[in-house]
Structure 1
């Protein structure tokens, strides 16, 4: 399993945000602050191991196949019902 990390902004990000709020900044300074905050958050990202990635992929694929079968079954049943109610087109 991936490491469990509490997703709280670091003190540096909070301090920078407070400074940004207090001081009127130009558009380029705000953009620079935004990019630095994005990079700080990206450093917190934990990538899954190969085993986790394969298991997540398998779960998603199995779920998609099950949902496709369910929707196909409903489609077939509704087609039979419509054909029974309205007859076959001539």
Structure 2
């Protein structure tokens, strides 16, 4: 074990840094006010880009699954095509 002060923590040290629920809520609201929210046009664009990407990935995974499935059946069936 290390005797470094950076590793050890004294009891009660964390209690000084804790904030109450009201302070936490005020800080959350203050941070959310800093957020730059997307416009409706940007939101629709982002949604469409994500949907196209997800559908593309579904297609790739489906084709790989089909291909590997057929390969496994071919290998375990003795290589015969029926």
Q: Are residue 43 (structure 1) and residue 49 (structure 2) matched?
A: no
| Residue 67 (str. 1) matches residue 35 (str. 2) | no
Distance 1:49 1:34 in 2: 28
In structure 1, the gaps of 5 or more residues are 1-23
Instruction: Indicate the SS of the match to 1:43.
Output: helix
Q: TM-score, normalised by structure 2?
A: 0.68
For residues 50 and 39 of structure 1, what CA distance do their matches in structure 2 show? 22
Alignment partner of 1:55 is 2:45: yes
- After superposing on structure 2, the runs of 4+ consecutive aligned residues of structure 1 that deviate more than 4 Å are none
Provide the residue aligned with 2:68 in structure 1.
Answer: 78
- Provide the aligned length of Structure 1 versus Structure 2: 65
Looking at CA atoms only, which structure, 1 or 2, has the larger radius of gyration?
A: 2
Unaligned runs of 5+ in 2: 1-15
Q: Which has the higher contact order (CA 8 A, sep 6+)?
A: 1
Scaled by the length of structure 1, the TM-score of the pair is: 0.63
